Amino acid sequence: MSWRSGSRGVVLTAYHPSGGGDGGGDRPGGRRSGQYTMNHDHSKTPDGASFDRSGSQDSLDELSMDDYWKELENIHETRGNNQEERVALVVKEPDEGELEEEWLKEAGLSNLFGESSGDSLESVVFLSTLTRTQRAAVEKRVETVTQTMRKKNKHHQIPDVRDIFRLQNDSKGKVCDGNEPSTVRTSETKNEMQDGTKGPKFSLGTDEQKRPLEDMPSSDTDINLEISFSEQAANFKDSSVGKMCKGGGGDTLLPNFRVPKDKTGTTKIGDLAPQDMKKVYSLALIELTALYDILGTEFKQQKAVKIKTKDCGLFGVPLSVLLEQDQKKVPGTKIPLIFQKLIAQIEEATLETEGLLRIPGVATRIKSLCQELETKFYEGTFNWENVKQHDAASLLKLFIRELPQPLLTVEYLKAFQDVQKLPTKKQQLQALNLLVLLLPEANRDTLKVLLEFLQRVIDHREKNKMTLKNVAMVMAPNLFTFHGFSSKTIEQREFVMAAGTANVMRFMIQYQKLLWTIPKFIVNQVRKQNTESQKKEKKDKAMKKLLKKMAYDREKHEKQEKTPNDADVPQGVIRVQAPHLSKVSMAIQLTEELKAGDIVARFLSQKSGNVQTLKKEEVFLYEIGGNIGERCLDDDTYMKDLYQLNPNAEWVIKSKQS
């Protein structure tokens, strides 16, 4: 069992069929494994430097890393017993400009370059909502792409990056050179809506907001979701606020981070409509890049080499394929059935078993169970009574490792690893928050279920002896699959990387509730985009009508469109409807203390329609329209504050889709 001590980087193991069939039966070699090698720059490590393990990554000493190395040995033994053919598939570094071009496409800004670059007005709305640091990140990538295109003598129009942002600024009626801190707020605080009314104020997280920042609690453990993370990093880069919170590696030494209550409600992943989540993705990508830029950490998306993968079965099957076949059996399921069943099997015994997750099952038995599951799981003939608890835990980890692409994705795995390089724990948590937003839905949902399960294991640490650190050590090699570690000679860079990924794992488990929160500054940027898009649509409609009708008719029509509900709903009153549950609507007088949960409770007290059969946890109040597509409100949302933020919204009570 020798390890390739000379190899560099991360190798992500993927499985694909060789010769058809289910690839998981009794035929040896039914699956081939491929490897994604991701190179890391270790040039910053001084050669021959003495290595003090006690000072690395929260003082994770060699003894505390034992679980990590033992898990690697177990993984190696399992792979050795499988006797699978391995093919190394190296993720190559992109050519000059390709990385930035792909980044702009992912951010929804592809029309800033290429053949459609002349139509860059389409991006004006999006660019107008960016903060100073986000704009700088975009400008940097556009500049790189345009320079590359000029070198390649592309024939299509190549806009100058300054022209793109000047165009955006001119459209807003105000010049923004990046040094004007109030540029992003001008439109929402000074401009008026077409109907003459002032629009709601949005906090977009720009650096001009020093007054709100000073008013907020300054505790190092408070996570400010109202100000852009990259703006916070830029403002406090050299201040005492941004100093690293140092400490040992024990569970109790992680900061007790918390999110101060927001009167307009906390937005969780799953609360927004799909069209708004697309905007969240683009903004999160730009924000993460800006944060890494400010902190001097390179952010590069890796590109997976396309390989042939299994189109059926359980192990080594893409999540999308698994869910497609699972949804035929259980419509609407978002988590692979085998994944759910393995967790249920582990919990069915007891989570108090000492060494749970750490003690491996017998490798030969694991292989046999894996093959049997492949053929009998969907038939419903597999005998789960034969599966010991440690075997089920080993199968769960095997499932994660054998995904053709890692659960954290090829694109963002290195970014997850590089979180450890950020200077403060708060910035590490902010980066992880943005990375979770960038994961595909299937990966994110599966990761969430995994982290919740791991927390339940940790909750029984008094009995099972599996603390947060122990669980993180065991699970890190399974999410960040490494090759090239020597089991006898541990080099400095290898230890640092192992300790780093274990710490990232600790963060994901410890702060998982925070990680599934969409920062308010991003939600406000989405609101701003929607508002600006609506303005643009109204202008376009008015222009078309100008060609067909007289100015008098158009003005009359626009008057009819203004605040249609004003006539029947008095000021300070909202009308709440539940069209799928009741024919009765409620007029609610807004007060300073009225919360969304109060409205739901009042609705459930009615005895009409289907209301009497509903439970409180089954229905939610939704904010629909206005400057948001759709948003599920948490019970603690103060309705008057939210109404002021989105006065044109409709308020609907309905069940939340699973």
Q: What tens digit of pLDDT does each residue of 445-454 get?
A: 999 999 999 9
Asked whether the beta carbons of 131 and 204 are under 8 A apart, the reply is: yes
- Tokens for 28, please give them: 């040896």
Asked if the model's pLDDT at residue 247 lies above 80, the reply is no
pLDDT value of position 570: 74
Mean pLDDT in residue range 345-352: 93
Per-residue model confidence (pLDDT) at position 164: 56
Top-confidence residue, 239 or 457? 457
* Strand ranges inside 185-282, DSSP E: 267-268
Order of all β-strands in the sheet with 628-632: 586-589, 573-577, 650-655, 619-625, 628-632
Rounded to an integer, the average pLDDT of 394-403 is: 93
Q: Per-residue pLDDT tens for 465-487?
A: 999 999 999 999 899 864 433 33
Determine contact, residues 39/9, Cβ cutoff 8 Å.
yes
Which of 140-144, 225-229, 349-353 shows the lowest mean pLDDT across its residues?
Answer: 140-144
In which element (H, E) is residue 38 found? strand 31-38
* CA pair distance 369, 2, nearest whole angstrom: 27
Q: pLDDT tens-digit profile of 140-193? A: 988 888 888 777 765 555 555 555 555 555 544 443 333 333 333 433 443 444
The DSSP secondary structure of 561-580, one letter per residue, reads HS-TTTTTS-TTEEEEE-TT
User: What pLDDT sits at residue 333?
Assistant: 93
Q: Identify which has the larger pLDDT, 210 or 612.
A: 612
Distance CA 105, CA 411 (A): 14
Of 398 and 73, the structure prediction assigns the larger pLDDT to: 398
- pTM attached to this predicted model: 0.78
Predicted pLDDT at 627 = 93
* More confident of the two residues 620 and 72: 620
Q: How far apart are CA 69 and CA 3, in angstroms?
A: 12
Per-residue confidence band for 513, with pLDDT thresholds at 50, 70 and 90: very high
Q: What is the mean pLDDT of residues 56-85?
A: 62
- pLDDT band with cut points at 50, 70 and 90 for residue 250: very low
Average pLDDT, the chain: 75
**Which of the residue ranges 82-96, 152-166, 496-510 would you say has the lowest mean pLDDT?**
82-96
Distance CA 292, CA 103 (A): 14
pLDDT of res. 578: 85
Q: Which of the residue ranges 310-324, 497-511, 546-560, 637-651 has the most confident prediction, judged by mean pLDDT?
A: 637-651
Position 36 pLDDT exceeds 60: no
pLDDT band, residue 313 (cuts 50/70/90): confident
State the average pLDDT over residues 569-578. Answer: 84
Reported as type and span, the H/E element at residue 327 is helix 319-329
Residue 329 has pLDDT above 60, yes or no: yes
Are the C-beta atoms of residues 123 and 104 closer than 8 Å to each other? no
Tell me which residue has tokens 């730009």.
286
Residue 595's pLDDT is 94
Confidence of residue 265 (pLDDT cuts 50, 70, 90): very high
Q: Is 80 exceeded by the pLDDT of residue 405?
A: yes
pLDDT at 545: 63
What pLDDT does residue 325 have? 92
Q: Does pLDDT of 217 surpass 50?
A: no
pLDDT for the residue numbered 239: 59
Q: Does the pLDDT value for residue 571 go beyond 90?
A: no
Whether 38 has a pLDDT exceeding 70, the answer reads no
User: Is the pLDDT confidence value at 609 over 50?
Assistant: yes
d(CA 397, CA 376): 20
pLDDT category, 440, cuts 50, 70, 90?
very high
Q: Residue 122 has what pLDDT?
A: 59
CB count in 10 Å sphere of residue 563: 11
Q: Residue 113 in contact with residue 68, Cβ under 8 Å? A: no
Q: How confident is the model at residue 93 (pLDDT cuts 50, 70, 90)?
A: low
Predicted pLDDT at 271: 95
Amino acid 66: pLDDT: 78
The per-residue pLDDT for 136 is 93
- The pLDDT of residue 485 is 33
**How far is the C-alpha of 169 from the C-alpha of 148, rounded, in Å?**
25
Per-residue confidence (pLDDT) for residue 233, from 0 to 100:
93
Say if residue 129's pLDDT is above 80.
yes
Which segment of 15-19, 51-55, 257-261 scores lowest on mean pLDDT?
A: 51-55
Q: Which carries the bigger pLDDT value, residue 363 or residue 119?
A: 363
* Predicted local distance difference test score (pLDDT) of residue 554: 55
Q: In the structure, what pLDDT confidence band is assigned to residue 58 with cuts at 50, 70 and 90?
A: very low
pLDDT at 514 over 90: yes
Query: Distance (Å, rounded) from C-alpha 211 to C-alpha 213?
Result: 5
User: Structure tokens of 52?
Assistant: 């003090």
The predicted pLDDT at position 470 comes to 93
% pLDDT > 90, the chain: 42
